[in-house]
Amino acid sequence: MNRISLALFAAVVAFSFVGAQGAAAHETKPAVKSLLKTPLAGIAGKEANVVLFDVGPGWKIDNHFHPGHVFVYMIQGSIKIEVEGEPAQVIGPGDVLHELPDRNMVANNISSTKGARFLVFQVGDIGKPLTVPVK
């Protein structure tokens, strides 16, 4: 199963490079495009989600957590990710980050003038939210 998941992730990453375009410079809300959502054979009740994000300059997401494992692949630009209990990380083009489940976090585009583009591969429970806001 691990080989299939990694192969799927690699294929989606390769596909995203073929169609990569720059993020809109004046975008205020992220453009979010679901590329794949599929149940995981052999893992009862779990699904994989692959989502492409284009975020504008200065974008940020408030405190939240993900109930499942998340893998972020940066295509363009750089974002800072702050996970509770860990040092802040800045990831740029070609970097990959693994976020463990149920960890409070925030993220932001570090540029106030350029957009960023990243691919998110996430495993979660079928029919459940992939992102949960923290109040």
Angle at alpha carbon of residue 38, lines to 33 and 41, rounded to 5°:
155
> Could you report the per-residue pLDDT of 98-126, keeping only the tens digit for each?
999 999 999 999 999 999 999 999 999 99
| Per-residue pLDDT reduced to its tens digit, 67-95 | 999 999 999 999 999 999 999 999 999 99
Max CA pair span of the chain = 45
Global pTM?
Answer: 0.78
Q: What's the confidence (pLDDT) of residue 28?
A: 62
Domains and CATH numbers, the chain: 2-133 (2.60.120.10)
pLDDT at res. 135: 85
Given this model, what pLDDT does residue 7 score? Answer: 42
Q: Kindly write down the DSSP assignment for every residue of 67-131, as one continuous string.
A: SS-EEEEEEES-EEEEETTS--EEE-TT-EEEE-TT--EEEEES-SSS-EEEEEEEEEETTS-S-
